[in-house]
Chain A
Amino acid sequence: QSALTQPPSASGSPGQSLTISCTGTSSDIGGYTHVSWYQHHPGEAPKLMIYEVNRRPSGVSDRFSGSKSGNTASLTVSGLRAEDEATYYCNSFAGNNNWVFGGGTTVTVL
């Protein structure tokens, strides 16, 4: 049950695109399509942004997109806005009713 690996921080200017990586193993990300991403603002409950690698829940901006290659998943935020400043967490199913989160990436909009 080792945590997925995310960069601790990322930054970009308004309007730019930014991609956050999430690296696991063949036992989690590489073995399943059940990868999701969450946006977390301090003091609030986390919010689901992407599920099943690249599906967006109703109401989530199409500026957010997800992908996966091998053991690494990615979240891309296009057209960065000030309100995108938050911590982003990836999550993957790891088999046998186990789930695992990444350590989180704090995004700063410059």
Chain B
Amino acid sequence: QMQLVESGGGVVQPGGSLRLSCVASGFAFNHYNMQWVRQAPGKGLEWVTFISLDGSDKNYVDSVKGRFTTSRDNSKSTLYLQMNSLRPEDTAVYYCVRDSDWSYNIWGQGTMVTVS
């Protein structure tokens, strides 16, 4: 079945770095744009970043610009999120999502990032 599996979350001190990974299976990863969405504790969903199917186009929410970098390796069906200069307000569950028809029809289970 179509699936996204995130990993790489954990506890990090402010100013530290983490790299999240998201492995896709069950569909042609290189045919889809991909995004990251996060949810801070007790808060709503927040769009974080977009990457086009070939990695040539990217965009980020203003609060992470210059600190986060999204990338992908289509040969490995894997999406990445490099997070640098982490702040306490980056604490959240991070979801990898497949962008299809301008919506998110496949979600990973999420990986928790705690900055403290």
**Do chains A and B stick together as partners?**
yes
Within 8 A of B (CB), among A96-110: 96-104
**In the complex, A51 Cα to B100 Cα: how many Å?**
9
Is B47 positioned at the interface, with any CB of A under 8 Å from its CB? yes
Q: Is the interface on chain A under 10, 10 to 19, 20 to 34, or 35 or more residues?
A: 20 to 34
How near does chain A come to B103, taking the closest CB pair, in angstroms? 4
A interface footprint on B49-69 (CB within 8 Å = 1, 0 otherwise): 010100001110110000000
Least CB separation from B102: chain A residue: A34
Is B45 positioned at the interface, with any CB of A under 8 Å from its CB? yes
Is A36 positioned at the interface, with any CB of B under 8 Å from its CB? yes
Counting chain A CB atoms within 10 Å of each CB, the highest count among B45, B46, B101 belongs to B45
Number of B interface residues in the complex (CB < 8 A): 23
Least CB separation from B110: chain A residue: A45
Please pick, from B35, B44, B101, the residue contacting A52 in the complex, using a CB distance under 8 A: B101
Instruction: Report the number of A-B residue pairs with Cβ-Cβ less than 8 Å.
Output: 65
Residues of B within 8 A of A104 (CB): 44-45
**In the complex, A103 Cα to B44 Cα: how many Å?**
5
Docked-complex contact A1 and B103, CB < 8 angstroms: no
**In the complex, A36 Cα to B110 Cα: how many Å?**
20
**In the complex, A3 Cα to B62 Cα: how many Å?**
12
Docked-complex contact B103 and A52, CB < 8 angstroms: yes
Is B105 positioned at the interface, with any CB of A under 8 Å from its CB? yes
Residues of A within 8 A of B102 (CB): 32, 34, 36, 51-52, 93
Docked-complex contact B59 and A51, CB < 8 angstroms: no
Docked-complex contact B45 and A57, CB < 8 angstroms: no
List B residues at the A interface (Cβ < 8 Å).
35, 37, 44-47, 50, 52, 57-59, 61-62, 95, 101-105, 107-110
13 chain-A/chain-B pairs, Cβ below 8 angstroms:
A3-B44, A45-B109, A45-B110, A46-B107, A51-B101, A57-B105, A96-B59, A97-B50, A98-B61, A100-B47, A101-B44, A101-B47, A102-B44
